Amino acid sequence: METYQIYSLTSAILFIIGIGGIFMARHFIKKIIATVIMGGGVFLSFVSFAQRDAITFADPVPHALVITGIVVAVASAALALALARRIYQLTGEETFTNDK
Amino acid sequence: MIHLPSSPFPALLVGLPILMATLSLFFRPGGKAAVGLMGSILTAGLALIAFVEVTQRGTVIHILGGWEPPLGILLRMDSLAAVFIGMTAIVGVFISLYAWGYFRAQETSAEGLPLFWPLWLFLWAGLNGLFLSNDLFNLFVTIEVIGISAVSLAVLTGKTPALFAGLRYLLAAITGSMAYLFGVSLLYGSTGTLDLGLLGEVLEPGPTTSFSLLVITLGLMIKMAGFPFHFWLPPAHSSAPAPVSALLSALVVKGAFYILLRLWMEVFGVSLTYAAGQLIGLAGAIAVIWGSWQALIQTSFKLIVAHSSVAQLGYLLMVFPLLILAPGVSADSADWLSPAWTAGIYQVIAHAFAKASFFLSAGLIIMALGHDRIESLRDLVGNMRITALAIGIAGVSLIGLPPSGGFMAKWMLLKGIFLSGQWWWAPVVLMGSLLTAGYVFMLLRLAFAPAREMNTFRPVPKSLEIIALMLALGSFLIVFPADSLIQFLESSGVFGSGIESIIEGGVYGND
């Protein structure tokens, strides 16, 4: 097995853990963490395709994409955390069970 | 791509709203609104000039900062992009004018409300950027700009229901864009390019392509609230302030649809099968019936309108099965492609006008009554004649009665369905129209019914009522330039073509 394949496989596993977490976790913070894990999987997937063997030079494009992607993901996660915190301050709720 | 004429407009269409949005942040609330409104009018004017430029010169491109792709970003404005940008400009400027008056008339001016202006301009920049994007990653960035500003707009009031709905919306949006990006990473891994045109040429059918098609489509379906991922839309769209609801329903969801359309038509041809088209069409059909039914049983005006959005977006998905050609059929002999395309484009535009008008009317009703429970709509005609007229006219377009834009969309959809022989979609279109007529007439019946108790309608600014009416009329006026609009769209390669690659490839046949 090539090294990059290990990373690719890991990225797929992280992605699936993230998806599962978003749907199965109830607590807001757990859901947000799940989106971050999902994002980590996606970014690892990009990076894993950058260099497939030790001979050729690494492709710089995936790294540029991942840096942009991380910035976007951080902003999304920050907004989600701010919303979750505000909901907690106003209602004390930490899950979607009682929203109406 | 390099030989296409270069134009500064694509860059300006993204840059100007961002500039004005940033500028407005430096001002106090009153100044924010003034700069914001000015920014909206300038952006809309620029969009119309750019539209005219594309009608005269054909597709134009702009290479940002002179950095050629793949390292730089190329913006492409073809006729499809021009039509979406033009629609955003016209609907957007009306909503801006309404928002100006609406937020001024609010007695309890919450602190956050002036932030509408910078957020809306960022959203507009994102939408323009999305329509102009020519590579998969740029599409991701623009859809994130749209998602983050849309969620921020949805929670503008800071009220609890809006916050719950906003967080649900945001989590759905992040999940959708990460799924999309995962598909993009697989495509980049297998082809080494992100350029839409190039991908369409080099992409080969296989498990990787099919899997990325699947995750990208699912991600975008979440973003455009396609069935079964519609759960986040009704609460988010109904709990936002009226101008925001109008923006979210009329424009934001169309962004994800635009990407889906572009990718299915330009990139994924090789992996699309008849079955894939039928499946996405089925999701659309269920959305039409389920959304319309839900709209019929709601008791608050904004929830009716929001569920109606789920249904109307379903019609857009029903266009896809018609665009995918069965093996052995060439695009030249497929005379249903042109009606199908017309149906899709007209559904996008007519829904944008009609739904914006509906939500703006809902805002006026809330302003007058303090709530939007439909049993209080009694004697609306006697108290708010223009708003009632706007609801009636926009409703007629949603149902699809002639001579509205909605009629054009549904008529062409039926025509495409019968010409292609996929008759099983026809009952869904008719049933959807019937259910839509049900909830529109339910509203109108109440509007004409005599009041039971003393009326408590507070006066609302007449100018705002007229804006809602003009948007409703817009959903009719768009029928008049239909011929030239369709010719203009057909001048670009995408519009009017079907997905034939299955025939040439033949690897993924009709399974």
The model's pLDDT over B278-316, given as tens digits with 9 standing for 90+, comes to 999 999 999 999 999 999 999 999 999 999 999 999 999
Res. B50 pLDDT band, cuts 50 70 90:
very high
Between residues A88 and B459, the one the model is more confident about: A88
* DSSP line for B2-24: TTSPB-SHHHHHHHHHHHHHHHH
Residue B510: predicted pLDDT = 30
- Interface size between A and B, measured as CB pairs under 8 A: 98
Res. B505 pLDDT band, cuts 50 70 90:
very low
Residue B501: predicted pLDDT = 40
Mapped onto helix, strand or coil, the DSSP state of residue B360 is: helix
Residue B493: predicted pLDDT = 63
The domain segmentation of chain B, as residue ranges, is 1-133, 135-272, 307-511
| Closest-approach residue (CA) in chain B for A71 | B141
Sequence-distant (≥ 6) Cβ neighbours of residue B98 within 8 angstroms: B242, B243, B246, B360, B363, B464, B467, B468
Taking a C-beta distance cutoff of 8 angstroms, is the pair B256, B344 a contact? no
Residue B302: predicted pLDDT = 94
B310-326 average pLDDT score = 91
Res. B507 pLDDT band, cuts 50 70 90:
very low
Percent of chain B at pLDDT > 90 equals 64
B357-411 pLDDT, tens per residue? Answer: 999 999 999 999 888 888 888 888 888 999 999 999 999 999 999 889 999 999 9
Mapped onto helix, strand or coil, the DSSP state of residue B481 is: coil
Residue B111: predicted pLDDT = 64
**Nearest CA-CA distance, residue B132 and chain A, Å:** 19
Residues of chain A with C-beta less than 8 angstroms from the C-beta of B161: 99-100
**Nearest CA-CA distance, residue B395 and chain A, Å:** 28
Q: Report the alpha-carbon distance of residue B181 to residue B151 in Å, rounded.
A: 20
Residue B109: predicted pLDDT = 58
B38-50 average pLDDT score = 96
Residue B455: predicted pLDDT = 66
pLDDT of B1 strictly over 60: no
B170-183 pLDDT, tens per residue? Answer: 999 999 999 999 99
Res. B509 pLDDT band, cuts 50 70 90:
very low
B221-256 pLDDT, tens per residue? Answer: 999 999 899 999 999 999 999 999 999 999 999 999
| Nearest-CB residue to A87 (from B144, B151, B164) | B164
**CA-closest candidate to residue B203, choices B220, B183, B178:** B183
**Nearest CA-CA distance, residue B160 and chain A, Å:** 7
Q: How far is CA B467 from CA B72, B238, B252, B332, B443, in A?
A: 41, 20, 20, 43, 20
- The answer, for A84 touching chain B at a CB cutoff of 8 Å, is yes
- The answer, for B166 touching chain A at a CB cutoff of 8 Å, is yes
Q: Does residue A96 belong to any structural domain of this protein? A: no
B117-126 pLDDT, tens per residue? Answer: 999 999 999 9
Q: How far is CA B6 from CA B44, B49, B57, in A?
A: 21, 15, 10
Taking a C-beta distance cutoff of 8 angstroms, is the pair B368, B460 a contact? yes
Residue B267: predicted pLDDT = 86
Give which of B182, B211, B212 to mutate to test A binding, by max A Cβ within 10 Å. Answer: B182
Q: Do A83 and B163 touch (CB under 8 A)?
A: yes
Alpha helices (H) along B331-404: 337-369, 380-383, 385-399
Residue B110: predicted pLDDT = 60
Calculate the average pLDDT of chain B.
Answer: 89
Mapped onto helix, strand or coil, the DSSP state of residue B206 is: coil
Residues of chain A with C-beta less than 8 angstroms from the C-beta of B189: 8, 45-46, 48-49
Q: Do A76 and B147 touch (CB under 8 A)?
A: yes
Beta bridge partners of B499: B324
| Closest-approach residue (CA) in chain A for B165 | A99
Percent of chain B at pLDDT > 70 equals 94
pLDDT of A100 strictly over 70: no
Beta bridge partners of B409: none
**CA-closest candidate to residue B337, choices B509, B481, B493:** B493
State how far Cα B466 lies from the chain centre: 23
Q: Do B185 and A49 touch (CB under 8 A)?
A: yes
Cis ω for the linkage preceding B70 (within 30 of 0): yes
pLDDT of B43 strictly over 90: yes
- The answer, for A68 touching chain B at a CB cutoff of 8 Å, is yes
> Domains in chain A: how many in total?
1
B3-11 average pLDDT score = 88
Name the range with the highest mean pLDDT among B46-50, B65-69, B266-270.
Answer: B46-50
Calculate the average pLDDT of chain A.
Answer: 90
Q: A37: domain CATH number? A: 1.10.287.3510
B105-115 average pLDDT score = 72
Q: Phi and psi of A63, rounded to 5°?
A: -65, -40
| Nearest-CB residue to A80 (from B164, B167, B185) | B167
Residue B504: predicted pLDDT = 37
Structural domain harbouring A60: 3-91
- The answer, for B55 touching chain A at a CB cutoff of 8 Å, is no
Taking a C-beta distance cutoff of 8 angstroms, is the pair A62, B136 a contact? no
Could you tell me if the ipTM is greater than 0.90? yes
Q: Do A68 and B141 touch (CB under 8 A)?
A: yes
Q: Does residue A59 belong to any structural domain of this protein? A: yes
* DSSP line for A30-48: HHHHHHHHHHHHHHHHHHH
B460-500 pLDDT, tens per residue? Answer: 899 999 999 999 999 999 988 888 888 888 877 666 566 65
Q: Report the alpha-carbon distance of residue B412 to residue B407 in Å, rounded.
A: 8
Mapped onto helix, strand or coil, the DSSP state of residue B78 is: coil
**CA-closest candidate to residue B473, choices B386, B354, B372:** B354
Residue B502: predicted pLDDT = 37
B46-50 average pLDDT score = 96
